[in-house]
Structure 1
Amino acid sequence: MSESRPLLYVSRLLPEPVMATVRERYQLLTEPEEGPPSPAVLRQGLQEATAAIVTLSERIDAQSLSAASRLKVVANYAVGYNNIDLAAARHHSIVLTNTPDVLTDATADLTWALILATARRVVEGDALVRAGDWTGWSATQLLGAEVAGRTLGIIGMGRIGQAVAHRAVGFRMPVHYYNRGTRLTSPPGAQWAGVSLPDLLRDSDFVSVHVPLTEQTRHLIGASELAAMKQTAILINTARGPIVDEAALVDALERRTIAGAGLDVYEDEPRLHPGLSSLPHVVLLPHLGSATWYARVQMGMICLRNVDAVLAGRPAPNPVL
């Protein structure tokens, strides 16, 4: 009976509720593992399967897709899809889908965790206590930055950028945003203002990045942009690593051109630019933006709904192309 079910390739182990549904509906080509597949295993999986669920870590190029003669749909376990050659997928009539909406709140929450942790030096304080080096309260110990009432600059006001902006209301923060789309109306109690990127960088106390990674946004934040920021400003990136020039960021942090950074993504994950991990005024997270139980399970279920639809001859609910 299992042989009658479509062959599905899953590149990485997903949360158990998702895997249970996968095993119920499909024949797994191979048992996925926690770690990333080798390039050879990835190519073989795409070549033999009828459908595939892959993660952002898997780079799927034109050569891999040209050999995937049976493949009808690739469900990307992410909102972004810069890991997949879109032109090649289109050329081979392979449907590509993503997982919008369900990770918006999780990523926005984590953005705020980084804002607060970096501004208030939470990681440094935790390390001090754990090391047994805390000698008691001091009026000058680990002084950080105020958050409430300061200006939050958001680069990219899509779903996640707007969710971050909504959370700023509770901190009485005016929000300056740079967005290529239409200007947005401030919701009740909020102070939103669409501005140019140079004005946002000049005036913001916190700059948070929320644009997708494209050729136009690669190194959108480089040496000149960092130099344009306030010396007291903090940069937050929970979008994609290459949007920020990591070498320029390390240089700016070492020179104290800006006050700090909170990062969940990196230019060459999982590797860091030399010197980044030794800087005390940086909070570094291992790409946890969508890492809540609810979000990660729902992402998998969305992938399955898209696979189900395409293999049944219906339009995908969340097509990228």
Structure 2
Amino acid sequence: MKPYVYITRKLPQETLAELQEIAEVEMWMEEEKPVPRSILLEKANKAAGLLTMLSDRIDEELLRQAPYLKAVANLAVGFDNINVEASSKYGVTVCNTPDVLTDTTADLAFGLLMAAGRRITEAAEYIKDGKWNSWSPLLLAGTDIHHKTLGIVGMGRIGEAVARRASGFDMKVLYHNRRRKIETEERLGLSYRIFEDLLKESDYIVCLTPLTPETKDLFNEKAFKMMKDTALFINVSRGGVVVEEALDRALSEGWINGAGLDVFREEPINPDHPLLRHPNLTALPHIGSASTETRLKMARLAVSNIAHVLQGIKPPAAVNTGNHE
């Protein structure tokens, strides 16, 4: 009898071949709605593998009642929705999808920076709303990107990719990371700063740090008040690193010039959320890695991760040690 694998969001059939050869595979088929918690718990009870999204909470409650579970593969680089420590305790291998989405997410991060700085989405809506009656010198004037100072918080693979893109705009690039990367500084021409100094010096601040106990609420009232009043804040990491009430005040009271967000504390964000009333906020629905090519690669890697674990082989991208050891 083949092991049972449950996938919590509909994926293209073409990405499932490796897994379907060795397992019985079932998918949640509603594309716009996450799998309800009750159904996830029910499916986990008989599953040897779960292919999950960031919206799926894999906690001790679930792990405790999943006696056959060997692998959880997140369709993301991040895995803050999974209790990795508890997974290890129950012998479950946790996997993610690093590397394959680096450049795609960097493209989006830099595109969001440009959209916020040059007011691109605001200008597009201006035309659609029938407001463009004449040309004027400062109509929807934004701020330059070239020759400005970019501060990157979180210098991992995506951070490096964003820094490379910034070089094409002749930007000065600063970075802050939990540990300094001398070789990266030399290779990419970066300058390290402590967090506070990066905030004070940067024209654009891009957050790419993972959500950890240390980074939760990192961008709070104190942080926003340290920024230049001409600065723009861009977040393509996790919503939990930002105190949204503080950002709301920063935009309302002019502590900063604007912001671009691809992530929020609660997703999907409520259309009545106070942040969305600000014309100088560019908001996107968590599409950092959302290119067709990259999402297919992510799906195939997640599938391969589970297939490897179920066959007793070390998976391509394991977060912890589990049943493959």
Give the TM-score normalised by structure 1: 0.95
1:86 aligned residue = 84
8 Å contact from structure 1 (residues 222, 248) kept in 2: yes
1:139 aligned residue = 137
1:270 aligned residue = 268
Q: What does 1:43-122 correspond to in 2, within 5 Å?
A: 43-122=41-120
CA deviations 1:164-183 (Å, max 9, x no partner) are: 01101100001100011232
CA deviations 1:120-141 (Å, max 9, x no partner) are: 1111110111122211321120
Provide the rounded CA distance (Å) in 2 between the counterparts of 1:110 and 1:178.
20
- SS of the equivalent of 1:134 reads coil
> Which amino acid counterpart does residue 15 of structure 1 have in structure 2?
P
8 Å contact from structure 2 (residues 153, 207) kept in 1: yes
Change over 3 Å in CA distance of 1:299–1:163 after alignment to 2: same
- SS of the equivalent of 1:208 reads strand
Provide the rounded CA distance (Å) in 2 between the counterparts of 1:188 and 1:171.
19
Deviation, 1:189, is 8.7
2:39 aligned residue = 41
CA deviations 1:74-101 (Å, max 9, x no partner) are: 0111100000111210110100000000
8 Å contact from structure 2 (residues 207, 237) kept in 1: yes
- SS of the equivalent of 1:185 reads helix
CA deviations 1:50-105 (Å, max 9, x no partner) are: 11100111011111101000011001111000001112101101000000000111
Deviation, 1:113, is 0.8
1:283 aligned residue = 282
Deviation, 1:304, is 1.4
- SS of the equivalent of 1:242 reads helix
8 Å contact from structure 1 (residues 234, 258) kept in 2: yes
1:10 aligned residue = 7
- 2:253 is aligned, of 248, 252, 255, to 255
Deviation, 1:22, is 4.7
1:313 aligned residue = 312
Q: What does 1:161-200 correspond to in 2, within 5 Å?
A: 161-185=159-183, 190-200=188-198
Any stretches of 5+ residues in structure 2 without a counterpart?
321-325
Provide the rounded CA distance (Å) in 2 between the counterparts of 1:29 and 1:187.
46
CA deviations 1:202-236 (Å, max 9, x no partner) are: 00000000111011110011000000000000000
Structural RMSD (CA)? 1.6
Change over 3 Å in CA distance of 1:190–1:312 after alignment to 2: closer
Deviation, 1:187, is 7.1
Provide the rounded CA distance (Å) in 1 between the counterparts of 2:241 and 2:174.
19
Provide the rounded CA distance (Å) in 1 between the counterparts of 2:107 and 2:237.
13
Change over 3 Å in CA distance of 1:88–1:74 after alignment to 2: same
Any stretches of 5+ residues in structure 1 without a counterpart?
none
8 Å contact from structure 1 (residues 222, 245) kept in 2: yes
> Which amino acid counterpart does residue 258 of structure 2 have in structure 1?
G
- SS of the equivalent of 1:171 reads coil
Change over 3 Å in CA distance of 1:187–1:156 after alignment to 2: closer
Report how many residues are paired: 318
8 Å contact from structure 2 (residues 19, 304) kept in 1: no
Change over 3 Å in CA distance of 1:38–1:186 after alignment to 2: closer
- Identify which range, 76-85 or 15-24, moves more after superposition: 15-24
Provide the rounded CA distance (Å) in 2 between the counterparts of 1:254 and 1:144.
18
Deviation, 1:274, is 3.1
1:26 aligns with 2:27: no
Change over 3 Å in CA distance of 1:30–1:185 after alignment to 2: closer
8 Å contact from structure 2 (residues 70, 93) kept in 1: yes
8 Å contact from structure 1 (residues 29, 45) kept in 2: no
Deviation, 1:191, is 3.2
CA deviations 1:26-51 (Å, max 9, x no partner) are: 31245433120111001111111111
Give the TM-score normalised by structure 2: 0.94
Deviation, 1:185, is 3.4
Identity of aligned residues (%): 39
